[in-house]
Structure 1
Amino acid sequence: MRIEPTDLADVVVLAPEPFRDERGLFTRTFDAEEFDTHLGVPGAAAAFVQDSQSRSVLGVVRGLHGRGGRGEAKLVRCAHGAVYDVLVDIRPGSPTFGARQAFRLDDELFHQLYVPPGFLHGFQALTTTADVCYRIDRPHDPSEDLAVAYDDPELAIDWPLPVSVVSARDASAGSWARLRATLVPAH
């Protein structure tokens, strides 16, 4: 497994190296020892406490979601199909604060993202169905949920397909400007 840096501070791509033969393939999707070694934090992998999965249909956008408080680290991968996955750095003081980057996650390369606390996350399903798996480092607490509109004009995310469906929560999410003002108060 290769671990590759991204343009966003502290975000990495975990890139499995599938073994393919006439039966199909086998791949290791996670290796705690390699993960801990790369982060330089012994036991970091053991912090993950919950796995979840979503299934979306073509064109669906989920997000942009994040967590307040001390945030939430997560590993994100697409187990079936393909998604256009977007991260936005919301960590005041980060060298990439406000920056965004998109990644293609799919069931061909099996890449997954390590997302440290302090990011908004969203994705669009690029295939008829797409299953996204999340491994998070603390139980979900709805009182800490953050959301920014997927179509926020300041973020200007270029979703690759027409958006087919969004949840009521995502359709009524606030703006990046409003969230940014709560993160970095005016002096």
Structure 2
Amino acid sequence: MRIEAAELADVLVLTPEPFRDERGLFTRTFDAAEFDSYVGEPGRAASFLQDSQSRSVRGVVRGMHGRGGRGEAKLVRCAHGAVHDVLVDIRPDSPTFGKQQAFRLDDEDFRHLYVPPGFLHGFQALSEVADVCYRIDRPHDPAEDLAVAHDDPELGIVWPQPVTIMSGRDRAAGSWAQLCAALGVG
């Protein structure tokens, strides 16, 4: 498995190296020892305690979501299909605060992301069906949910396809300016 730093501070891109033959392929999607060695925190991988999966149809946007309080670290991958995945750094003291980066996650190269606490996350399904898997390091607490509109003009996120379906929660999400005010920034 290759592990590389992304442009956003502290975000990692993990790329498995599948073994392919006439049967198909086999790949290890995560290796705790390699992860811990790369981040220099023995036992860090063991802090991941909850796995979740979403299924979306083409054009669906889920996001932009984050967590308040201590935030949450997560591993995100697309197990089936393809998604346009977007991260926005919301850590006021970060050198990449307010910056975003987009990634293509798919079931071809199995690349996935380590997202540390303090990021908004969202994605758009690019394939007919896309299954996204999340492994998080804290139990979900709805009281800590944060959300910013996927089409907030200050963020200017470019979604590659027309948005087809969104949840009511995502349609009602606040603005980047509101989140910055809540974070005491600006």
User: Structure 2 length as normaliser, TM-score?
Assistant: 0.99
Q: Which residue of 2 aligns with 1:175?
A: 175
Q: Is residue 2:103 matched to residue 1:68? A: no
- Spell out, residue by residue over 1:2-47, the C-alpha distance to the aligned partner (whole angstroms, 9 max, x if none): 0011100000100000110000000010000000011100100000
- Superposition pairs of residues 7-18 of structure 1, within 5 angstroms: 7-18=7-18
- Superposition pairs of residues 52-131 of structure 1, within 5 angstroms: 52-131=52-131
Tell me if structure 1 keeps the 8 A contact 2:149–2:170. Answer: yes
Q: Letter of the aligned partner of 1:114 in structure 2?
A: Y
What SS class does the counterpart of residue 173 from structure 2 fall into?
Answer: coil
Unaligned residue ranges in structure 2 (runs of 5+): none
Q: Which residue of 2 aligns with 1:138?
A: 138
Unaligned residue ranges in structure 1 (runs of 5+): none
Q: Which residue of 2 aligns with 1:160?
A: 160
- Once residues 19 and 155 of structure 2 are traced to their aligned partners in structure 1, the CA distance between those partners, rounded to angstroms, is 39
Identity value in percent? 77
- Once residues 26 and 171 of structure 1 are traced to their aligned partners in structure 2, the CA distance between those partners, rounded to angstroms, is 39
Q: Is residue 2:35 matched to residue 1:35? A: yes
How far apart are 1:184 and its partner, in Å?
Answer: 2.6
Structure 1 vs Structure 2 CA RMSD: 0.6
Q: Which residue of 1 aligns with 2:47?
A: 47
Q: Letter of the aligned partner of 2:77 in structure 1?
A: R
Tell me if structure 1 keeps the 8 A contact 2:92–2:185. Answer: no
Q: Is residue 2:14 matched to residue 1:3? A: no
What SS class does the counterpart of residue 52 from structure 1 fall into?
Answer: strand
- Once residues 45 and 12 of structure 1 are traced to their aligned partners in structure 2, the CA distance between those partners, rounded to angstroms, is 13
How far apart are 1:182 and its partner, in Å?
Answer: 1.3
- Once residues 67 and 109 of structure 2 are traced to their aligned partners in structure 1, the CA distance between those partners, rounded to angstroms, is 28
- Once residues 147 and 139 of structure 2 are traced to their aligned partners in structure 1, the CA distance between those partners, rounded to angstroms, is 18
Q: Letter of the aligned partner of 1:139 in structure 2?
A: P
Tell me if structure 1 keeps the 8 A contact 2:15–2:112. Answer: yes
- Once residues 129 and 151 of structure 2 are traced to their aligned partners in structure 1, the CA distance between those partners, rounded to angstroms, is 22
What SS class does the counterpart of residue 51 from structure 1 fall into?
Answer: strand
How far apart are 1:181 and its partner, in Å?
Answer: 1.3
- Once residues 185 and 123 of structure 1 are traced to their aligned partners in structure 2, the CA distance between those partners, rounded to angstroms, is 25
- Spell out, residue by residue over 1:96-152, the C-alpha distance to the aligned partner (whole angstroms, 9 max, x if none): 000000000000000000000000000000000000000000100000000000010
How far apart are 1:185 and its partner, in Å?
Answer: 4.3
- Spell out, residue by residue over 1:35-73, the C-alpha distance to the aligned partner (whole angstroms, 9 max, x if none): 001110010000001000000000000000000000000
